[in-house]
Structure 1
């Protein structure tokens, strides 16, 4: 009998420990972001060593003999990558994610690195046959002070033709804590009962124009594309206003105050008019200036895994030139985790 009691007690302790560990996992998942930048190199290498898979490319450094001296000079290392197929790796664009020590955001050093890296990149891309690699370079940093509204997630930064774009994802619980409070609904307010297509995924974006001409940015042309070619469009102020009007619980003063907040925090509303046309004004960023704010999208599907956030920016031609506007697509790689999405806390007011 004593043996049986001890056995029962042991089972009870083990059951309690299991329940505690499961609860702990749930808590940790709920604190993570369902959308995160790229893939972690170290984790991918470990997984591939256990289960080699030709669908996954785990690059160390592109054309190491050419690239490593430049990376070492600026104290940079490869911290992430965009997944591709091994058989196509040499002929497709590989997006490499570089970072300074401890994920510091060093804007001057980044620009200096890019100036020297361009020649190296040209040599890599001019290679022939199996040695040819198209290379796309992004910086990852952990520097909340880069933004006026400080981010809790890592930041991706890309510079092309004198335009620098930085982007970070915002979890809904963090948005609720900051904006869904007092006598106002968050502009991104949602309930659990809403359909996936009526919910949002929200990013914070900063665009700096170091060109000598204006640039044009239209949030409605932005989109997220997943691995199944599903497209999730960017939402503007009007879209957010209509979302709240459709919600039975979102009425009156709370909605009015929430949309007043939207006017202050959306990147769409924080850009000046840089071009006036008949019947329409185009917003963007003048030379030497920056604009930043939140950019919402239709929420991604639960089965999404690989995400490409695409932000098209139009470059104005020089004054008096006969050239047309040219569009640069800033593409940022993110990943989505269904388990973390499901584990997110319920919407809450503060």
Structure 2
């Protein structure tokens, strides 16, 4: 659907300014009041402002589709009354063909989510759909392909979960039933079809250089279809009990630290001993690091190439592997580079050996003839069948 042209944008701005003037407000104040009203309406329905805006958009899209269908039906009835053939495919005022409506999903905004749709969403969120991050209305969302969701619904894991774990999951017998199960997601606004857009399209400035590669900016499509290669974005974030439990634990921890003077004497003494022990371990670690450096500086001149205590202490290894082995000599980087260079040379000799043996089977030149230089490099010849 094409966006408004500059003339329509100017008319909309003038209309908005006139509405603000009727209420004795500036356009900025009127816009702020509308945002507050939108947030209040979203809280009444238990939704976020972004989800409420998405519902309003889908509702407007449905009204537009219904009006277009009604106009097409009226034109078809008028044409039948006048004895004319109804408009063919591609003519103005024609309703979509049945083949095009086969995979279209009628979204129903404003209605509570179906328990079956929530069960399907929870199952798909637990599966590896290879999601990728996208930007929808300025927020990061998870996006996935339809074919991976259909594949997960047709998998044995879904049949096992539907039979034993969750009785709310609808049964799946074939491809059509799997698509019908997937259509429950957009019906309850748990996932919607999106397409990639360029957020800088139509702007005069150049594209920013610090753009994240592979991070799409998407928009919700008007027609919610179920083609395999289409992308859907998750609006359903799953049960929030983990986030709530983590938030409660953080709040409890902050209160516990603030109320430290009110703790029992035994707990305060235990915390003091624990803090002293941690400080002692930290000081011991720094003392060991300084000692091993001094030991290396002494042995690098006395017993070259130098001795390291705990040579893997600052390497990228695990905690226990940092203290293994107990000591080790300083490794010479030049020897390493020579070894790395000599290894491919040896492999080259091994590769060239078969070619030398094959050429030795060829007839040698006569004593009176001049020596002929032969290329002993291995070659790969193409054989035509």
TM-score by length of 1: 0.23
Q: Which has the higher strand share?
A: 1
Q: Which structure is larger by alpha-carbon Rg, 1 or 2? A: 2
Q: Between the two structures, name the one with larger relative contact order (CA 8 Å, sep ≥ 6).
A: 1
